[in-house]
């Protein structure tokens, strides 16, 4: 395509044709990538099974679920230190004692 002079624009039919070709190319790419995305999600789901099993056993060990066989263990606070600091500062500024 030759360079355009200032103030001139490309013909409308050329812009529409390029948009159509781009849309078709993206549609073909998405259809061809779909099987790989489905396979990747299946592998990821299979890898999550042991993690979810461990999470379930950890939940059963906490106070949320009392099990006869496993002794109860209290929940552990995993809030990042900066979030805890912000929460304690907010409670302090409101005149409330910090929660532990």
Percent of the chain with pLDDT over 70: 79
Please state the rounded mean pLDDT for residues 53-77. Answer: 73
User: From CA 86, how far away is CA 65, in angstroms rounded?
Assistant: 31
Least-confidence region, from 15-19, 43-47, 77-81: 77-81
**First-last CA distance in the chain:** 70
Task: Compute the C-alpha angle 60/61/66, nearest 5°.
Answer: 65
pLDDT bucket at 41, cuts 50 / 70 / 90: very high
Q: Enter the pTM of the model.
A: 0.41
């Amino acid at each position: 395509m030759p360079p355009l002079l200032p103030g001139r624009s490309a013909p409308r039919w050329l812009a529409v044709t390029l948009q159509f070709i781009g849309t078709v190319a993206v549609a073909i790419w998405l259809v061809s990538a779909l099987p790989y995305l489905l396979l990747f999600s299946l592998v990821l789901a299979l890898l999550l099974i042991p993690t979810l099993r461990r999470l379930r056993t950890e939940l059963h060990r906490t106070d949320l679920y009392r099990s006869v066989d496993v002794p109860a263990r209290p929940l552990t606070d995993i809030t990042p230190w900066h979030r805890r600091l912000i929460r304690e500062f907010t409670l302090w500024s409101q005149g409330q004692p910090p929660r532990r």
